[in-house]
Every structure is written in C-alpha cells, then in structure tokens.
Amino acid sequence: MKYGFFDDKNKEYVITDPQTPWPWINYLGSEDFFSLISNTAGGYSFYKDAKYRRLTRYRYNNVPMDSGGRYFYIKDEDTVWSPGWKPCKTPLDKYECRHGMNYTNIIGEKNGVSASCLFFVPLNTWAEVQKVTLTNHSDGVKKIKLFSFMEWALWNAATDMENFQRNLSTGEVEIEGSTIYHKTEYKERRNHYAYYSVNHKIDGYDTDRESFMGLYNGFEEPQAVEDGQATMSVAHGWSPIASHYLEVELQPGASKDFVFILGYVENKDHEKWERKGVINKTKAIETMAKFDTAAKVDQAFGELKAYWDSLLTGFVLNSGDDKLDRMVNIWNQYQCMITFCFSRSASFFESGIGRGMGFRDSNQDLIGFVHQVPERARQRIIDIASTQFLDGACYHQYQPLTKRGNDDIGGGFNDDPMWLILGVTAYIKETGDFSILEEQVPFDNDMRVAKPLFNHLTLSFDHVVNHLGPHGLPLIGRADWNDCLNLNCFSTDPNESYQTTGNKTEGSKAESLMIAGLFVVYGRDYIELCKVLGKNEEAARAQVHVDNMVEAIKQHGWDGEWFLRAYDFYGNKVGSNENEEGKIFVESNGWCTMAEIGKEEGMVKKALDSVKEKLDTPYGIVLNNPAFSEYIIEYGEISSYPPGYKENAGIFCHNNPWIMIGETKLGRGDEAWEYFRKICPSYLQEISDLHKTEPYMYAQMIAGKDAYKPGEAKNSWLSGTAAWNYYTITQYILGIQPHYEGLKIDPCIPKNWKGYQVERKFRNSVYKIEVRNPDKVSKGLKSITVDGKEIEGNIIPIMPGGAHHVLVVLGNE
Amino acid sequence: MKYGFFDDKNKEYVITDPQTPWPWINYLGSEDFFSLISNTAGGYSFYKDAKYRRLTRYRYNNVPMDSGGRYFYIKDEDTVWSPGWKPCKTPLDKYECRHGMNYTNIIGEKNGVSASCLFFVPLNTWAEVQKVTLTNHSDGVKKIKLFSFMEWALWNAATDMENFQRNLSTGEVEIEGSTIYHKTEYKERRNHYAYYSVNHKIDGYDTDRESFMGLYNGFEEPQAVEDGQATMSVAHGWSPIASHYLEVELQPGASKDFVFILGYVENKDHEKWERKGVINKTKAIETMAKFDTAAKVDQAFGELKAYWDSLLTGFVLNSGDDKLDRMVNIWNQYQCMITFCFSRSASFFESGIGRGMGFRDSNQDLIGFVHQVPERARQRIIDIASTQFLDGACYHQYQPLTKRGNDDIGGGFNDDPMWLILGVTAYIKETGDFSILEEQVPFDNDMRVAKPLFNHLTLSFDHVVNHLGPHGLPLIGRADWNDCLNLNCFSTDPNESYQTTGNKTEGSKAESLMIAGLFVVYGRDYIELCKVLGKNEEAARAQVHVDNMVEAIKQHGWDGEWFLRAYDFYGNKVGSNENEEGKIFVESNGWCTMAEIGKEEGMVKKALDSVKEKLDTPYGIVLNNPAFSEYIIEYGEISSYPPGYKENAGIFCHNNPWIMIGETKLGRGDEAWEYFRKICPSYLQEISDLHKTEPYMYAQMIAGKDAYKPGEAKNSWLSGTAAWNYYTITQYILGIQPHYEGLKIDPCIPKNWKGYQVERKFRNSVYKIEVRNPDKVSKGLKSITVDGKEIEGNIIPIMPGGAHHVLVVLGNE
C-alpha cells in the first residue's frame, strides 16, 4: 500500500494518510539549529548537539510511538483537532503532509476550517519558524480557539530523562508579551535560553505541563484545551512547557496567518541579564522582528527554497525513469546533505545521546555531499583529521559541540585512518583545491604538534603498514568497518558494551581482509595523489606496500570461491567455506573486487558470482551467510543478533554498493543495476507496509532472508548508505567521475538502457552530457564529443567556464 | 482534600480516588526481586539492580504521568475497563487500592463485575505474583475477555532508552503453553531470562507491542483489546511484550481466580538450553508450580503478612495519637525497610539508573532498620566497609549487583568515613554482637589487604584527623552531607555534573562545620566503643582529637548567634551573618547542637533559637536562608537551584531531625515535637493537594518558604529522612535508646503529653514500657521500675529473655 506520492516538481514527498507504517520524518535546518519533524508534527529541536543542547523534549519508543512535538490544538465548538491528525487523532476532512527540502508543510482541515502549518529553519537563523494559516471555508463565521504546545527539554537530553531528583526542581521560565522564555539553569552555568513566541497578542498561556495537560491526560486531550481556556500557569520546577492560547474569529472565506518562532539564544557572560533575575532578551527580540509578518516569513522561505534549488543543480539526471531521477536529483542528494549535518547523531532511530561524529562515517559521508557544499566539506575534513593521533591512529568519534575525540569509545578501529584518504582525495578531485594538503592540522586537537594535512595521509597509510599480522594482512584492532565483528573482544559480561570495553589486541592474530582490500583501493588513490603532486619517491615507496598487500590477499585471503573475511584472534579463518556459519561476507568481497585483486586469475568474477549465489535476496544482499545461530565469543557482537538482523545477515544498504561497484569492474551493468534497484527506496513505495520506513530515504538495514519479516527496514536517514549509493549510481553506474584532470566518463549500465542525460556542474563549468547506447552494451566507449569535437580517452578536460555539450556514445569499439 | 484513609488494623493505606495528586506507590519484594507499583498499577520490576536487570519497561516523566505497568484490560460487551482505572480511565463503579506491607491490592468494579488484583513478591521467590479474582455480582451470565499486559525492558535500563539502532533488532521471546518467555540476549552473554505466565489455558497471546497496541494507540486503547482478540504475535525485534488473552464466563455470583506470575530465572552456562535455540525452563516451571492455585497463593501471602507482622513487633507504640502510632508502628518502619532495600536507586523520582548504594546513605539508613533485620544490617555493614580505601577514605557509592565502588563518582566526600562509626555502633548497641568488629573486611574489595572491621573504624576516625584545614576544622573535600555545597568545584561548564567533575581540593581552605560536629558526635561514640572494648589507650588518643575539635569549633565555628556552616576555598565564612545570602544553615547547627558544643556558654540554645527564628516555617525547617538568588561559583550546585527548592532553602526532611535532637539536648520537648509533627506525613493527609506525595511516606524535600508553592513535597520514599525521623522519634523524643549495657530511657516530650506505652523487643526480651508524665514535664526521670523493682540510673539492664514490665515516671526529681 502507498501512503503518499512524489511531487517531483516541488521536490516534495506528499503523505496523504497520517497513519504511515512508521513515523515518516523530515529534517529542518542545515547549519546550527536543527529539528526533526514527523508527518504528524512529532519530533524535537536542538542547537548543534542533540545531547547537550536539546531544546524540546521528545520520548523515543513511546506508546503511542512518536509522542511529543510542536503541536497545535484547534477547538472549534466542541470539536478539538490537530492539523497533523496527531495528537488529537480526530478524523480530519483533509490531511496532507508535504516533506520538502528542509521544510515540512502539514495541512489539516476539519468542519470548514483548514490549518496549513509550514515548518522551517530560515537560513542563518537559530530558530524554527512555524507559519500557521487558518482559513474559513464555510459559509458562517468561525470562532475558534488555537492552542500551541511544546515541552522544554532541560538541555542535556541524557540527564533530562534520568536525574529527576534534580530536574523536577530546576525548571524556570519568563513570560513577556506573547513570548515564553525557557531559562532553566540560565541562572548558573548556562549562557543560553530558548523561547517560543507568536506574532499576535495572545489570550492566555501555559508554561507548566501539569497545569496545561492534567496529570492523567495524554497529549491527545490536554485539560486546558478540553476546558477551552489557558490556565496562565508559571512553571516552577516540574516540567516547563510553552503553550499560547489565541481566540480567532474568521469571516467566511477569510484567512489569518500566525507566525510562531521557537528560538535559541546565547549571551556573553556580561550580557546575560537585563536586570537582576530578568534575562537579556535583545537577541530573541531581534530574531522575532525578522519574522513578525507572513510576508517576511514567505521571503525567508523563498530564500531557503532557492538555496536548496542551487544545491541540487550540481548533478541533474534525466534517465526517463522517474523513480531513478527523483532519487539521484532530489532525495539521495538530500539524504547525503542531512547525513552530513547529523552524522549518526539524531534520527527517529538514533536518540541523539549515544554517538558523536564518526571518523570513518564522516569521511565516507563526504563523497555524497562534496559537490554540493565543497567549502563545508573542507572544514569537515580539517575537523576530522584534527582528531588523529601522531601514529596515524585516530579517535573513532568526536563530539560535534567540542570537536574533541570521544574518550568513551577511544580508538583502535584499524580501518579508520584509511578513510581519510578517501575523504581528502574526493574533495580535491571535486574542487581541484590542492591547498588543503598544506593546511596545518593538529593531532588530538593539539596545535603544538600540527602538521600539513598531507602528512596525515601518509600517517594513515603507514598505520596499516605498521599494523600487519602474521599473513601480512592488516590487523583488525577493535573492529573494521563492521563494528560488530569484534575479533579481539571476548566479552562475557552483558553489562559491558562491545564497542567500548577493553580488547585483547595484544598478541592477537586477527586480520581483516576488508581492511586489506580497502588499503589497496585507497593506497592506490594515495599513490595517484603522490604522483599528481610529483612526490614520485613516496609513490614508489607506497607502491611496494600495495603490491605486497595484493600478493598477501591472493595468497592468504582467497578461499577458493570467494575472499575470506578475516582471520580471528587465534589465526582461524572467518568467512570461509570451512566455517559452519558465516561462510561468506559482503565486506571483503566488496573491497577486494573493487580493488580488482586477482581479476586476471578469475577471482573477481568468482567472488561476485558467489555473492550472488549465497548472499543475494529479493530485498538486497545480506551481509553474511549462513547467519550465526549461536553466540561465538571470538566473533563478538555480530553473533549476538538474531539471524537476519543487523550485522548478522541483515541487508546493509551501506555495503551493497561495494558489490555494485565490484560488478561494474567486471562490466556487468545489469547485475550492478539490479542490486541498486532492489534497495533503492523510491522503487519500494508500493510495499511500504512491509518496508515500513520512508519511501524517499534509504534505511541502514533491511531484514535479511533469515529474519522473521524479510524486507522490513530499520534505521532510515542517517547512514553511510546515502553517500555510497549516490557515489555508486553517479560515478560507477552512470559513470561520471570527478578527477584531478577533469570529468572521467565510464558508465556501466543495463544493456537495455537507451541512454540518459546528465547536467553536471564541475569546476566552474556546466557539462551537459548525453549518453547514448545504440549497441545495447553495458560498458565501453565508442566516442566522446565535447562541444562538437571528439576527444581522446575518457576524461573531459577542465574548461574555463560556461556550458559545454558532451555526447557520449557507448558501444563495442 | 483526602484521597484515602489509613486502615491501621490491616497496616494498609486505602486509596479511594485513583486520581491522586501524584502517583502514590508501593514496593513489592525485600530481597532480590523488586517491583514498584502505583495506585493505578503502574511501575516496573527488576532483579537486584534497577539499572542492569530491569525486567519490565517503564517511562519516567511521561505524558500522561505514570505510563506503563502491569495492566489488565477487561472487555465486557463494548465496555473496556481496567481494575486500577488506568490505563483505560473508564469510570468505575468502585475503585480501591490497598497498599500494604510489600503488597498491593487493587479492586475495580464495573457493570456488575469486580476484579480484585493482589500483587506481591512471595518470600524467597524471584517473581511477582498477581492474583486476579473476577466476580460476577450481576444477575446474568457474564462473558468477558481478560487481557494481561506488560512490556519487557531489554535488561539494561539505560541503553534500553538510548540505543535503538541495536535494541529494535534484538528482541526475542518464546511462547509455551500459557507462558511467555522473554529471552532477549540470552543467546549471547546473558544467563537470565524472564517470563510471564497464568495458571489457566489461554485463548490467545501477544508478544509484539505494535501488533497488540497499534502504532498510534496509547495504553488506554490497545488495538487487540478494541478488536476483542489477541493477534498471536511473536516478537522479533522492535518491542517485545507479554499479553495473555482469556475468555471468561461467570455465572451470577460466581468468582474465578487467575494467578499471573512475572518471574526471573538465572541458569548456569552449561544449563542454559533445553535444546538448540530453546531455553531451559526448568526453574521457571518450578516457580510456577509453587503458585499454580489460588490456595497456594493465599498461603504464600499469609507467610508474607506474618513475616511483616513479625518485623514490626520490635517497637510498638501506643500514644493515644493514631497519626503518631501508625507512623512509628507501621509506615515509618516500613519506609526504613524499603530504604534499606533500595537505597536511593529506584523510586518514582529516582530512575534507577543514576545512583548506586551510597556509603553515607546506607550507614544512616541502618539506624532505621537494624532492630528489624539485624543479620541483614550486619551484611550491609560488611559490604559498605569493603569499599573503603586503605587511608580511610571511601567510594561514595557502590553498585548493588557487583558490590564494587562506583568509579564514575569516586570518593573525596570527607564526611563519608565517619558514618561507618554510626552504622557499626548502632548495630552493636542493638544486637550486642561485638564479633562483627573482628570480621576481616577488605579495602576496595581486595581481600588481600583485609583488616578487622574495628581497624576500619579507626581509619575512618583518623581520616578526619588527617584532613584538617587552617582552623583545625575538617576539610570538606568534594562535599559533606550536603552534596550540593561544592566548595572546591568551581564549575563553569553546564555539561559537567557537580558531583563527578574534577575538584580543586589541592590547596583549598574549605572546611566544614558540619563534619566538625559529626566528628565530635561519632568520635565520642568511637571513644565509648573503645572503652567498652577495654582499648583505653586508643580511647585516650581519640579523646584528644575530639577535645581539640570542640575547641576549634568554639573558637572558629561560632558566628555569634549560630554556628557557621563552613569556610570556603579561600577561607571566607559560609553561613555567617556577614554573608548576604545563606547566612545560616541547618546542618552545622544540627550537628554542633547534637554534640552539645558550647552548651554551657549558651551556644546550643542560641543556635537553636536562631534556627527557629530564621529557618522555621509552617511546613518545616528550611535548609538555609536567605535563599541564594544568584549562582555563586565557589558554592556550587546549592546556588544553582531556584530559591526554596532542594538544597537552596528547601525543607530537607532528612536534616530536620538533627535540629529536633538538638532541641532534646536542651530538654525542649515541645519544640522537638512541633518540628517532628510538621513534616510527618500522616499529619499532612488533609493537605494532600498541596503536599502531593503519599500521606504515608516521608518525602526527601518539601518546598520552602521562598518557593512558588511552599509545602509541596518531592522525592518521596527513598531518603535518609525515614531513618532519621524514626531514630529521632523513638530514641530522642520517646527516648528509648539501645545501649551496650541495656535499654536507656531518656524521653523528651511535649509537656502536655500524659504518657504512652511502648513494647520493645531487645536482646531476646520484650520490654513493656509504660511512661507516665504526671508533672507535665518534657524531660527528667523520677523513677524507673522494672518488673516491680526500681532501678538506679536510666539503663534497663539486659534480661535473660521473656517479657518485662517497665514503669517510667517523668518529672522533676
């Protein structure tokens, strides 16, 4: 069943039934102020850091699911309803939720009154703006009562739900005019407060939850709304909220706009107070003034739309397949940008508390958004590299607020350093900005020991070289990309986290074929970069190590039909036909085929055929198989999951593209495409009841064939899945690859595709590329013509600017 | 307004209106298996540790408040109702909740059907038993549908609400017969599972929350109940629950009993499985068999009642004042036992996540329950002392599951060690068991460095002696009893906890007058113990230090009208008339008057008069005044609270007794009694709307005079308040004090009291004590007659056993 449709013209997904199989959400904000919003207006807001600066309270995994948000209650005679259906759940005459690029518009209609609620975070603004338009479609005068509602979080999202013996005594607010200020702890160490305002004179307010809601009422039936009047409560401790009460009269056909603003302010120490006990509201008032009319809001909204339109002009596909075009042109790019902003911190599956920015994650995310916001990619690279240690190792995560490495989880994930090479080379290839390599970048945030970024890359490369195991393969450390394959953990205590507990890496023989393949791929990128920079000696030095690795993989990493996954602590094979369970894994076969190791000997084809035979399913490629049915202490968390879920034979949409790219290396465009289509959400819209998560967003995982409900997705939005699928479809299937010297063209498509057009902005020029496939091939170039002139090779050279027409004809030469 | 009444005969509080001003709760279990249960059946269960072994899921601070619990839904034709009113909130024809000693009985009646639900944890049992009796009071046959419901927590209560990207994929259950087994993570590192059973053949079940509840339904309207049938769902990931479905036919006048059991099982590693993938259910089946009929349940319930009756025979008061008698004989003792079991870990204000067992807390709690369960007090003392360090310092908290010190919070609270002297001497005075002093007790749980317990006391004493400041007063360290007076913390970062962040103790001049008074009181107890043991040399050595401390207090701790609270980091006075805010504090004036320091010079009287003048209010004594209106960085958390709340001028029911005892030292029985009555919950029943928390339980804090709503209580149940008020009323007001040589008699009562009787079990004898007050005095003994013979002095000697009649006549000699 479908719950909505794509509106490609407006770049919106339109939900027409509020009872989606799971909250289908959107994100507001892309700089400092962020909000999550579901199709029924649930969710929350935070400033920069979802753990330490949570502005509004949200309860995960509640009953009902998705409880709490920015709610409006409309009392029209005896009927109380909400524009987003929830929380009232009063049946609506009309409901529509339009999730667009960083905005959401929810429209509800009941008994002749419609409420259109537009939610967005204006550019360069620390606030969520909510424009509520009430319209009377009936023949009579309507007198309605409008209540707003949101609940303040007491800033730290973790202690907010744990430390009640303190929290229930600390809540403080101020009310001035139509603005409710939340100032809990502002008296002491905080230099920030939040506020919720409306641009109309109000007829009442509530700031104490129990007074507004009643102790025994749910969000669906606040007592004050039932009673039809605000209680004018002033919160002292307990749970502060913000609710405005407005009496609205609408003539037949008339409309009124109300602009609500949820904002955040920071004040310098000496500017905290207006007078004793009264907060300095200057900045809040300034922000409110910017959006105090519907016209100003509309203009800001226009600017936001223009901003996103421009972000999405870097790569525009016309393939003739709407499902593909809308993913490539809109939703996949959008997901990449959101993932860039949030890493893995806050979604409807990530509580915003547990995880900071990942070293590995952020580098991979970069390949999805670098063409959109190269200058922010540059900053991100510097931030990431600053958490590296002097020996090339690095913190696995860092906190977005402080940008410091996260001591809880520490380092020791031996794949981490290599991803920096991916991030940096992707950035330079896109921008041509080699100057980044000369930036002085600190180690562990200590500028006294800073070195040029290039040196960080060398250290990353050497970190693998310096940590080889008995077979000359990379030691795995705590884990490689698969955080749950914990070959040195040996955990028996259920109270400890596999990710943060001590590891027995000393004396371990655990080697990773995934890191081995990764090292070959990005080692070659490192070598290529060295050569471009004229550092031929370093290139030659590195080449020796890469060649050695290729040999080691061929000799010790090949299992006969596929690549091994690893050697364990004791030196036993993992991911081998010899194993009873977990005989074959995606990761090593992805990376070793991407690296084309043993291609001539047939290893790449054999490995990919084995993946197809043993891991492919109707819903995607499962991570490993057979699934682990018992806990294997020397494998760790992977074997803790029930079969078919997560790393234990779930379908990881993040690693499926590695196999797709491997297939393109063989020129098998049909196979690559088929894998792509299976997990691409726009193709899954019709099976939303099974798939469960948003049809416009990739999920991290889809339940595998061994699961109870194969095809059911989890953990949508924040995942390396976004970047890898975008990278794969644009660079390896559509085959348009940024390169140091220009735009490389190397498509690998299904044979029955007739062709496609791509408009690609690259280094100040716009390339209008038309690809034709008259011979029904998957791969191979007959000719490339640029502005009417055929070129040699497959790299379109960098042009001085302007628009350029490129004709690519595929075929057998 | 009242919401119920005391049923003293049955030792129950009977709630007759489900809509109490706050959930009014009870505790089940007193050994290993524990449950919290509200008057509407909300709450949760855990095994030993509320953080690491949470059995059922509960959401704190939810909307509506108190969501989740063990719920029954009764569908009778089209009406769906719950016996506890919630969650359905269908108006009932009758509602009654009887909270008794470790059991709760909730009775609801609707449309001619009554449901009586008895909840308790049988002695020596790892299970909560729920006996549901359905009775048809109507004239017709009733066909009703009964659904049970509870939601499994995924064991670790903290990650259960944070780590959804893992949690939502791990849930696993088994269903066999009428029993639903929750086995998430049992496959891997856990050796435990839980189960929920009923002793009848069921007509259906649900184990997946969304299937039972619906994604958009609240607890008040599960979809399966609305539909009138279970969906037979088998949870795989998401949120596992347990719900039985039973079709019940009742003839007119007929009753049926259903026994539900929520149990917990641990299996040894080699006994985990019945066969591959199927858990070993032997122990669960054994437990179920023990309670598979109503008769067996009734017998177990009788045993539980008998157990509690016997616990409460140690001290029985007949004062003629019901409000006082029921507190002394039932509820205050009950609270002491509950506090013993739970320390500060899990209440409706303590989330069960943040705090372990406190070193200081547990020692103080002991004085409230040692007469009830001396053998468990003994074990607790050993556990506590085992977390002491070799220099006498100690961990501030330890985890109940591991009994190991909590590294997060560490040590450095310089009052902590002294409380061990209180705990140990209270134990010996009650029991005469000096052998405990010879127990080998480890340091930091390391048996290799164990020493006899007596040496731990010496180290405790010396820890103060070895940590004196510039005035010869004790250095405060991180904090003394008042955790929020952080004189060395200087915290500016709102993301750090005042309790766990680094302190600048190095070079600090911060001294505590509270520790000084404490040292004198328990230093004297230490000296007395040494003398009883014949360690006269040690007694003399200690006496010098105590005398020095008394002098230091007189010289540097007296402010003119009261005792100073402290010196801060810089050596400035805290709690002095010189200060603008926080001029006077309870703690130092409590302890220095309890120690009778400067009594002859009039200091004790002056100090207590100042407390009365400056800190007394209609609802109790506020901690300090004037309240702090701004953050003072050198004072820390205390000044972070809004005025009138918590440590910033709230009424701490824990420290009010110190002033009461101080008053008894002056012989002012009226003042002591007045302070006692003001905060004693049974006297506050009529103002429940203001007081908010249970009228049968002390709260940690009542909002002070500077607060928005003075008299509003918070944080009921788990607080040193219980022990200190019990200790004060029984030993200092009623004046019956266990002593090494016998029972010391020293009442200090209101002058208008005519007398009272107390039955006191002590060292194998029962003393039936009658106190008469013919001269209308507060204090002073005319005579004590034991079994007809007048004795010298005021200590009733230890008798060989049996019952003894004691007549005490007060008056001016």
Which tens digit of pLDDT belongs to each residue from A554-564? 999 999 999 99
Q: CB of B277 within 8 Å of any CB in chain A?
A: yes
A466–B contact, CB cutoff 8 A: no
* CB-nearest partner of A216 from B64, B164, B185: B64
**Structural contact between residues A696 and A623, judged by C-beta atoms closer than 8 angstroms:** no
Supply the pLDDT for residue A410.
81
Q: Give the mean pLDDT of chain A.
A: 97
SS (H, E, C) B556-578: HCECCCCECCEECCCCCEECCCC
Q: Does A293 touch chain B (CB under 8 A)?
A: no
Question: What value does the mean pLDDT take over residues B72-95?
Answer: 98
* Residue from the list A67, A161, A642 with its beta carbon closest to the beta carbon of B63: A67
A167 interaction partners in chain B (CB closer than 8 Å): 61
> Using a CB-CB distance cutoff of 8 angstroms, which residues of chain B are in contact with residue A208?
none
Asked if B646 lies within 8 A of A188 by C-beta distance, the reply is no
Collapsing DSSP states into helix, strand and coil, what is residue A467? Answer: coil
> Which residues of chain B neighbour A25 with C-beta distances below 8 Å?
none
Average pLDDT over residues B162-174: 96
Other residues' Cβ atoms within 10 Å of the Cβ of residue B368: 26
Among B386, B357, B401, CA closest to B444? B386
Which chain B residue's Cα is nearest to A719?
A: B165
pLDDT band per the 50, 70, 90 thresholds, residue B56: very high
Q: What is the pLDDT of residues B611-620, one digit of tens each?
A: 999 999 999 9
Predicted confidence band of residue B154 (pLDDT cuts 50, 70, 90): very high
Residue B497 has pLDDT above 80, yes or no: yes
Average pLDDT score over residue span A298-319? 97
Select from A161, A209, A631 the Cβ nearest to the Cβ of B161: A161
Q: Helix B374-385 and helix B453-465: axis angle, to 10°?
A: 50
Q: Which residues of B touch A502 (CB under 8 A)?
A: none
Contacts of A188 in chain B (CB under 8 A): 494, 631, 639-640
CA B502 to chain A, closest CA, distance in angstroms equals 16
CA angle B711, B717, B719 (to 5 degrees): 85
Buried b (16+ CB within 10 A) or exposed e, B57-92: bbbbbbbbbbbbbbbbbbbbeeebbbbbbbbbbbeb
Mind telling me how many Å the CA of B237 is from chain A's nearest CA? 8
3-state DSSP call for residue B447?
strand
CB contact under 8 A, B640 and A351: no
Q: What's at B577, amino acid-wise?
A: N
Which residue of chain A comes nearest to B234, CA vs CA?
A708
Indicate whether B563 pLDDT > 70: yes
Report in angstroms the alpha-carbon separations of B705 from B21, B582, B613, B711, B712: 21, 14, 13, 8, 10
* Least confident residue range of A649-658, B165-174, B501-510: B501-510
Alpha helices in B502-636 (DSSP H): 513-532, 536-556, 586-594, 603-615
Tokens for A167, please give them: 């929290």
> Which residues from chain A sit within 8 angstroms of residue B211, using beta carbons?
none
Contact at CB, A63 and B218, closer than 8 angstroms = yes
- The DSSP letter of residue A622 is B
Best mutation target among B165, B267, B581 (most A Cβ atoms within 10 Å) is B165
At A597, the pLDDT band (50, 70, 90 cuts) reads: very high
- pLDDT class for B410, splitting at 50, 70, 90? confident
The B residues from 139 to 198 touching A (CB cutoff 8 Å) are 151, 155-156, 158-159, 161-170, 172, 185, 187-190
Query: Which residues face B807 on adjacent strands?
Result: B770, B785
Give A813's pLDDT tier (boundaries 50, 70, 90): low
How far does the CA of residue B617 sit from the closest CA of chain A (Å)? 19
Nearest Cβ partner of B641 from A64, A163, A170? Answer: A170
Which of A57, A777, A727, A753 lies closest to A366, judged by CA?
A727
Yes or no: say if B82 and B144 are a contact pair by the CB < 8 Å rule: no
A493 in reach of chain B (CB within 8 A) = yes
At residue B813, does pLDDT exceed 70?
no
Find, among B357, B314, B312, B315, the residue nearest to B334 by Cα: B312
* Facing B493 at nearest CB: one of A189, A213, A349: A189
**Is the pLDDT at B357 greater than 90, yes or no?**
no
> What are the chain B neighbours of A151 within 8 Å (beta carbons)?
63
The residue annotated as part of the active site, out of A415, A483, A559, A568, is A483
The distance of Cα A176 from the centroid of its chain, to the nearest Å, equals 38
Q: Which residues of A touch B276 (CB under 8 A)?
A: 629-630
A483 catalytic per annotation? yes
Cβ separation B494–A650 shorter than 8 A: no
- Amino acid at the residue B792: E
pLDDT band at B402, cuts 50/70/90?
confident
Tell me the CB-side half-sphere exposure of residue A586, using CA atoms within 13 A.
27
Average pLDDT over residues A779-796: 97
Q: Does A277 touch chain B if contact means CB atoms closer than 8 Å?
A: yes
**Mean pLDDT computed over every residue of chain B:** 97
Query: Does A86 reach chain B within 8 Å, measured CB to CB?
Result: yes
Residue B208 sits at the chain A interface (C-beta within 8 Å): no
**H-helix or E-strand spanning residue B661:** helix B656-666
What is the nearest CA distance from A125 to chain B, expressed in angstroms?
23
pLDDT at residue B408 above 80? Answer: no
Interface test with A, best of B169, B639, B712 (most A CBs within 10 A): B169
Q: Which residue of chain A is at minimal alpha-carbon distance from B637?
A: A188
Is residue A494 within 8 angstroms of chain B, CB to CB? yes
Instruction: For residues A721-744, give the mean pLDDT.
Output: 98
Taking the CA of residue B95 and the nearest CA in chain A, the distance in Å comes to: 16
How near does any CA of chain B get to the CA of A355, in Å?
9
Both tokens assigned to B171: 């849930």
Look at residue B400 and tell me whether its pLDDT is greater than 80: no
Chain A contact set for B650 (CB, 8 A): 169
Closest-CA distance, B785 to chain A, in angstroms, reads: 48
pLDDT of A152 > 90? The answer is yes
B442 φ, ψ to 5°? Answer: -75, 170
pLDDT of residue A330 exceeding 80: yes
Quick one: which H or E segment has residue A606? helix A603-615
- Distances A512 to A459, A464, A471, A564, A571 between C-alpha atoms, Å: 19, 11, 10, 9, 11
CB pair distance less than 8 Å for A214 and B492: no
The confidence score (pLDDT) of residue B666 equals 97
pLDDT at res. A630: 96
Q: Average pLDDT for residues B125-130, to the nearest whole number?
A: 98
Residues of B assigned a catalytic role: 483
Average pLDDT over every residue of B266-289: 97
Q: What domains can be seen in chain A, in order of their start residue?
A: 4-310 (2.70.98.40), 343-467 (no CATH), 736-810 (2.60.420.10)
pLDDT tens-digit readout, B670-700? 999 999 999 999 999 999 999 999 999 999 9
- Is residue A356 predicted with pLDDT exceeding 80? no
Distance between CA B427 and CA B172 in Å, rounded? Answer: 46
A284: helix, strand or coil: helix
Tell me the average pLDDT across B27-42.
97
Q: Which residues of B touch A406 (CB under 8 A)?
A: none
Q: Which of residues 615-654 of A touch B (CB under 8 A)?
A: 629-631, 639-642, 645-646, 650
* Cβ-defined contact of A170 to B493 (cutoff 8 Å): no
pLDDT for B520 beyond 90: yes
Per the DSSP assignment, residues forming a β-bridge with A130 are A119, A260
Query: CB–CB of A631 and B188 under 8 A?
Result: yes
Which of A38, A208, A216 would best serve as a mutation to test chain B binding (most B beta carbons within 10 A)? A216
Q: Which secondary structure element, helix H or strand E, spans residue B340, and what is its range?
A: helix B332-342
- Cβ–Cβ below 8 Å for A164 and B61: yes
| Mutant choice from A495, A637, A689 vs B, greatest count of B C-beta within 10 A | A495
Contact A217 B707 (CB under 8 A): no
Dump pLDDT digits (tens) for A201-259.
Answer: 999 999 999 999 999 999 999 999 999 999 999 999 999 999 999 999 999 999 999 99
Q: Does residue B343 surpass a pLDDT of 90?
A: no
Q: Which of A58, A85, A162 to mutate to test the interface with B (most CBs of B within 10 A)?
A: A162
